[in-house]
Amino acid sequence: MVDRFGRTIEYLRLSITDKCNLRCRYCMPKDGVTPVSHDDILRYEEITRLAGIFAHLGIRKIRITGGEPLVRKGVCDLIGRLKSVNGVENVSLTTNGVLLRELAQDLKAAGTDGINISLDTVNEETFRKLTGFDGLPQVMEGLKTAFDRGMRLKINCVPVWGINEGDLCDIALFAKDRPVDVRFIELMPIGEGRGFTGISSNEVLYLLEERFGKSWTLSDRGSGPARMRSFAGFAGRIGFISPISQSFCSSCNRLRLTSTGFLKTCLYYAEGYDLKGALRGGASDEELARLITGAVKEKPAGHRFGEKKDAFEEKRMYQIGG
């Protein structure tokens, strides 16, 4: 699918739950969340059918996200099913890592092509303050298990003033002895994120260079919008994803499907398309395909964070999938 701005759309971020076993302060409200009823969540059969239609329309890469995708039972089976959908070339996962140690082997057996682990701190106290749980040792074990199993891993960190500015160099150190990418992602003013101040990519780079010396740009951008850099003596790479300070909307290739079957063409806007309603209302594959291609035609040019003009998305990140 090519949208009206000439962007080829081939990447689907697929949220399979809005439940999570952590409560990251910039993502989930601290006074709890209203759980979505089980019936409102797309079943795996429905997801697989939609994946077939998306793939027929040109989606080649699917990333499973949430909430925390590993808390939904049968996630490895789903990955296996998606891997066998004609046209889907890559199925990956974004996780907080808490359940990774238990599931790493099954994820590998299911054919998972890559795992992004969200890790904002390596300090147990900061982890507890940020997420509400004492889960850091579990995450570290999960990371090690997945690495030892030879899985393709990336570490994603959202730098936030007042939360993890003192941890960023230690997070970067994961790329020192291992050939993994560590990526710093700018906080977006969505949901709870609006109550915090993100640390910009340039500010993170400054902090890293103070500790590790000058870095240099790598011509390979890595997958997606990350700008990759290298530091002397590092086996892995350091990436910067800068939706706020250096928007990459002009090359955006993605769609998002929430766990309730709501199709979003841009993270910023509240608008979307009720695929679940159409699917459960008896729509044929052709009708669903028309709905999706119609949505892609309307994909906005880009987000408007920073302009504070229109009422943008009220959903939280855990409801959208990041």
User: Shortest distance, CB of residue 56 to ligand SAM, whole angstroms?
Assistant: 27
Q: How far apart are CA 120 and CA 79, in angstroms?
A: 26
Q: Please identify which residue in 55, 99, 146, 190 interacts with ligand SAM, judged by CB under 6 A.
A: 190
Q: How far apart are CA 98 and CA 126, in angstroms?
A: 16
User: Shortest distance, CB of residue 94 to ligand SF4, whole angstroms?
Assistant: 8
Nearer to ligand SF4, 160 or 295 (CB): 160
User: Shortest distance, CB of residue 54 to ligand SF4, whole angstroms?
Assistant: 23
User: Shortest distance, CB of residue 258 to ligand SF4, whole angstroms?
Assistant: 13
The reply on whether position 182 binds ligand SAM by CB under 6 A is: no
Q: What phi, psi does 104 have (nearest 5°)?
A: -55, -45
In angstroms, how far is CA 290 from the centroid of its own chain?
26
Q: Which does 92 bind (CB under 5 to 8 A by kind): ligand SF4, ligand SAM, none?
A: none
54: which 2 tokens?
């998306």
Q: How far apart are CA 262 and CA 278, in angstroms?
A: 10
Residues 276-295 that bind ligand SAM (CB under 6 A): none
Q: Which does 174 bind (CB under 5 to 8 A by kind): ligand SAM, ligand SF4, none?
A: none
136-to-45, 118, 133, 213 alpha-carbon distances in Å: 34, 11, 8, 28
Q: Hey, how many other C-beta atoms are within 10 angstroms of the C-beta on 4?
A: 11
User: Which helix (H) or strand (E) covers residue 1, if one does?
Assistant: none
Radius of gyration of the chain, Cα coordinates, nearest whole angstrom:
19
Torsion of CA 128, 132, 137, 138, to 10 degrees: -170
User: Shortest distance, CB of residue 309 to ligand SF4, whole angstroms?
Assistant: 26
User: Shortest distance, CB of residue 133 to ligand SF4, whole angstroms?
Assistant: 10
Q: Which does 23 bind (CB under 5 to 8 A by kind): ligand SF4, ligand SAM, none?
A: ligand SF4
Candidate segments 103-111, 223-231, 278-286, 313-321, binder of ligand SAM by CB under 6 A: 313-321
Residues paired with residue 15 on neighbouring β-strands, in sequence order: 65
The reply on whether position 185 binds ligand SAM by CB under 6 A is: yes
216: which 2 tokens?
């240099």
Binding mask 34-73 toward ligand SAM (x if CB under 6 A, else -) reads -------------------------------xx-x-----
Nearer to ligand SAM, 53 or 168 (CB): 168
User: Which helix (H) or strand (E) covers residue 230, if one does?
Assistant: strand 227-231
Pairing of strands 262-264, 273-274: antiparallel
Residues that bind ligand SF4 (CB under 6 A): 20, 22-24, 27-28, 66-68, 96, 118, 317-318
Binding residues with ligand SAM: total (CB under 6 A): 21
Select from 10, 73, 70 the least CA-distant residue to 43.
Answer: 73
Q: Which does 71 bind (CB under 5 to 8 A by kind): ligand SAM, ligand SF4, none?
A: none
Residues 157-176 that bind ligand SAM (CB under 6 A): 158
User: Which helix (H) or strand (E) covers residue 61, if one does?
Assistant: strand 61-65
The reply on whether position 95 binds ligand SAM by CB under 6 A is: yes
Angle at 131 between CA 157 and CA 151, to 5 degrees: 45
Footprint of ligand SAM (CB under 6 A): 20, 26-27, 65-66, 68, 94-96, 118, 156, 158, 185, 187-188, 190, 193, 317-318, 321-322
